[in-house]
Homo-oligomer: A and B are copies of this chain.
Amino acid sequence: MSRLDLSTDVVSLTAALCDLESVSGNEQALADAVEEALTALPHLSVTRDGNTVIARTDLGRPERVVLAGHLDTVPLTTPPNLPTRREGDELVGRGTVDMKGGVAVQLRIAAAVAEPSRDVTFVFYDCEEVESERNGLARVGRNRPELLEADFAVLLEPTDGGIEGGCKGTIRVEVTARGKAAHSARPWNGVNAIHGAHAILGRLTAYEAQTVEVDGLAYHEALNAVGIRGGIAGNVIPDECVVVVNYRFAPSMTSAEAEEHLRELFEGYDVRVTDAADGARPGMQLPAAKAFVDALAVPVTAKEGWTDVARFSALDIPAVNFGPGDPNLAHHDDERVPVQQLVDAEAALLRWLA
């Protein structure tokens, strides 16, 4: 069994975590190592749920906060972008950004701060990078919500070292143009559904995305075709063309309102919802969030991408994203993190919790 040395520096610990490959579904070895390392710390009580590990202080503090991160990564590249390697001031390899840098910071805090200023629940969960039904945080929230109870949560997803509040919601719909099949040598006998989709793409390209302020943070909505398909055969006028549209909306809007907005926008076409998830309001005006922001003293912006903060939000726990690494490099073949961001993130959380 692999051993994790939590007394090493955060950069070495990040590398050790990354080198213990844990593509979604294959987290067991890493979860075992995390569980073992945390169980050795007398100030924490540790619970295991599948490949999710939860460790809690229990000091009777008036406030409890969660530090959460996922153990899994997206698949490696071919040839594999592991083991990690150092390139100048950066650590390179799968997981360095998304999000074993954040996990290393969690583990360092867990080991270093035996008497934190508020009680802390550390959550290390599995299967974040795959379908929602497999998500370890969601599973614990369903089955053992008492383990997650808290006044405030920090998700250590990469934010380039800033605080990103809340997150946008997301909805996907299929917008379908219909026509009538005919031989392509005699198109006047049919109606071309792909040509019909021209107007759908026209509404998309003409759409003026709004910037919406929620709890003092500015969210940029985004409306995009993320897929398109149509055509029966090379000599047939197509009778159907489906445009898959993804709408990312500010957390002041519910997913039901987002659906209504899309139905109005694509009036005249079939609109079918394939999936939807509410966003999370940043709640930056709440005392626990204010204390966090004051202690860290780093920039605060809106989170554009949907993250598991929305799962905390659904449990009525205000949550923010804060972690090392550029989120634009998440899932990239060339994933890499500036080591200074790892060091800074650890120091920032120490300012808050020590």
Binding site for B on A (CB under 8 A): 168, 170, 172, 182-189, 192, 194-195, 197-198, 201-202, 204-205, 220, 222, 224-238, 241, 243-244, 246, 248, 274-275, 304-306, 327-328, 330
Contact = CB atoms under 8 A, between A and B. Distances in A.
B186 A225 contact: no
Given A189-B328, A230-B228, A246 B184 contact: yes
Contact of A185 (B228, B244, B274, B304): B304
B328 A183 contact: yes
B195 A205 contact: yes
A222 B186 contact: yes
B197 A185 contact: no
Contacts of A330: 183
Max chain B Cβ within 10 angstroms of own Cβ: one of A226, A233, A274, A327: A226
A194 B241 contact: no
Contacts of A222: 184-187
Nearest to A243: B194
B231 A185 contact: no
> Copy number in this complex?
2
Max chain B Cβ within 10 angstroms of own Cβ: one of A182, A236, A275: A236
A186 B238 contact: no
Given A189-B328, A306-B185, A225 B238 contact: yes
B195 A224 contact: yes
21 contacts: A168-B185, A170-B185, A184-B224, A184-B246, A185-B248, A185-B306, A188-B220, A189-B328, A192-B225, A194-B226, A194-B228, A195-B201, A195-B205, A197-B201, A198-B204, A225-B238, A227-B234, A227-B238, A228-B229, A228-B241, A229-B231
B226 A228 contact: no
Contacts of A234: 172, 226-227, 244, 246, 274-275
Given A185-B304, A188-B220, A195-B204, 8 more contacts: A183-B330, A185-B306, A189-B328, A195-B201, A197-B201, A197-B228, A225-B230, A226-B234
A246 B235 contact: yes
B230 A230 contact: no
A198 B306 CA distance: 28
A197 B225 CA distance: 11
Contacts of A238: 225-227
Given A194-B228, A201-B194, A231-B228, A184 B244 contact: no
Contacts of A327: 183
B201 A198 contact: yes
A110 to B, nearest CB: 30
B226 A233 contact: yes
Contact of A225 (B168, B194, B205, B274): B194
Contacts of A202: 198
A231 B194 CA distance: 16
A238 B186 CA distance: 33
Nearest to A223: B187
Given A226-B233, A226-B235, A235-B226, A304 B186 contact: yes
